[in-house]
Amino acid sequence: MNKSRLFLYAIIAIPIGLLMIPTMIVLMVAMIPTGVAFLMERGKGYYGGLTVGAMNLAGTSPYLADLWFKGHNIPAAVGIITNVFAWMMFYGAALFGWAIYSTTPSIVSAFMTMTAGNRITGMRAQQRELVQKWGPDVESVYEPDKGANENNESSQTSTAAKMAKAAGNGKH
């Protein structure tokens, strides 16, 4: 982000923040876990910060609504940030965000493993059908080349030799 755009954001944000001092007081205290999450996720896509931030804001929103609709003043904001139950809600929601962020990769990994296993089972069934239809010559086990860094001429020659041998046998 260039400096002129950052300056423009500051010019807009500072007056709005000054008009909403009670809201800013509550948000500064309540959203500390979000700031920590963004600092910890530096350079990794900020997914942890976004997840924790969303849940943290969700935990803060009932108290912000009370602040906005029952008197938007500094004593009300101080009353919220000195309430132990409000702190439990702020940080409990942030903890739930961390739990979501921590468990999601293992859940996705398990799902992908299950999906890959189902695909393998389906492909093996198709392979058995092909073996029944075309004979055992179509069944093979793929093993990647161990000398992948060598030039491709030898692998092309061996592939051409295999194709010539298969054509010579007359089996299609």
Q: Is the pLDDT of residue 158 over 90?
A: no
14's tokens:
């500072």
* Cα distance between residue 109 and residue 148, in whole Å: 29
Q: Percentage of the chain with pLDDT > 70?
A: 81
CA atoms within 13 A on the CB side of 150: 8
Does some domain include residue 117? yes
pLDDT tens by residue, 125-136: 888 888 888 887
- 52 sits in which H/E element: helix 47-69
pLDDT at 127: 85
SS3 152: coil
Does some domain include residue 148? no
pLDDT at 172: 46
Does some domain include residue 157? no
pLDDT at 165: 56
Q: Is the pLDDT of residue 33 over 60?
A: yes
* Cα distance between residue 107 and residue 157, in whole Å: 45
Round the average pLDDT of the chain to a whole number and report it.
Answer: 82
**Spatial CB neighbours of 8, under 8 Å, sequence gap ≥ 6:** none
Report the Cα 33 to chain-centroid distance in Å: 19
pLDDT at 45: 75
pTM to 2 decimals?
0.61
pLDDT at 159: 54
Does some domain include residue 35? yes
pLDDT tens by residue, 73-114: 999 999 999 999 999 999 999 999 999 998 988 898 989 988
Tokens 């938007």 correspond to: 72
Q: What is the mean pLDDT of residues 18-34?
A: 91
Does some domain include residue 38? yes
42's tokens:
């530096």
Does some domain include residue 154? no
**Structural domain tally of the chain?**
1
Q: Give the domain extent around 44.
A: 3-136
pLDDT at 168: 52
Does some domain include residue 155? no
Does some domain include residue 156? no
Q: Is the pLDDT of residue 169 over 60?
A: no
